[in-house]
């Protein structure tokens, strides 16, 4: 899924920052691409890699996730339990999330009207807008038994 484009974005960032290409960093990116889950924790990424006996340590996973965010390949979502989840930044650009409190399912949503009303709130209070976080918690269809 959107693999070559993401690799290129990573490559470009590495060049622009005078860093060095590394095989393990690419392996992390590929593991995330190959997973059906689209919102992964560092721990889950590490588990994917261990299953493949990649020999990649957790420090490298954390460092790679950070760098992939800096490169604009991934987005970090800070969860309420203190951990973070990572998703591809490209996929549909900005969106918010419906989150099932039973099974943890993430559903991506976007409502241009809500976005517009948010901008009005910023303006009404004299704020220069930078970003927002909208998370809707509830029980999904599957989990409602």
Partner DNA sequence: TCGATATTGATAATCATTATCATTTTAACG
Partner DNA sequence: CGTTAAAATGATAATGATTATCAATATCGA
Instruction: Find which of DNA, Mn ion, Zn ion, none residue 21 binds, CB within 5 to 8 Å per kind.
Output: DNA
Q: Are 73 and 29 in contact (CB under 8 A)?
A: yes
Q: Are 32 and 45 in contact (CB under 8 A)?
A: yes
Note whether 103 binds a copy of itself by CB under 8 A.
no
Burial 74-87 (b: 16+ CB within 10 A, else e): bbebeeeeeebbbb
The first and second tokens of residue 49, run together, are 């890699």
Residue 136 Cα distances to 45, 74, 93, 103, angstroms: 25, 21, 18, 14
The first and second tokens of residue 47, run together, are 């588990």
Note whether 80 binds a copy of itself by CB under 8 A.
yes
Instruction: Find which of a copy of itself, Zn ion, DNA, none residue 34 binds, CB within 5 to 8 Å per kind.
Output: none
Instruction: Find which of DNA, Mn ion, a copy of itself, none residue 42 binds, CB within 5 to 8 Å per kind.
Output: DNA
Nearer to a copy of itself, 19 or 103 (CB): 103
CA 116 from chain centre, in angstroms, equals 24
Binding footprint of DNA, residue count (CB under 7 A): 26
Nearer to a copy of itself, 1 or 139 (CB): 139
Note whether 14 binds a copy of itself by CB under 8 A.
no
Given 78, 94, 103, 104, the residue binding a copy of itself (CB under 8 A): 78
Note whether 41 binds DNA by CB under 7 A.
yes
């Amino acid at each position: 899924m959107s693999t070559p484009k993401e690799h290129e974005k990573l490559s470009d960032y590495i060049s622009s920052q005078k860093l060095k290409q590394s095989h393990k960093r690419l392996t992390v990116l590929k593991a995330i691409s190959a997973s059906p889950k689209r919102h992964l924790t560092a721990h889950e990424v590490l588990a994917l890699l261990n299953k493949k006996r990649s020999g990649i340590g957790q420090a490298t996973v954390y460092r790679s996730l950070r760098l992939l965010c800096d490169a604009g390949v991934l987005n970090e979502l800070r969860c309420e339990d203190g951990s973070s989840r990572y998703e591809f930044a490209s996929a549909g650009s900005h969106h918010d999330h419906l989150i099932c409190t039973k099974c943890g399912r993430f559903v991506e949503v976007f409502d241009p009207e809500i976005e517009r009303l948010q901008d009005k709130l910023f303006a009404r209070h004299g704020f220069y807008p930078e970003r927002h976080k909208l998370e809707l918690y509830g029980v999904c269809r599957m989990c409602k038994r």
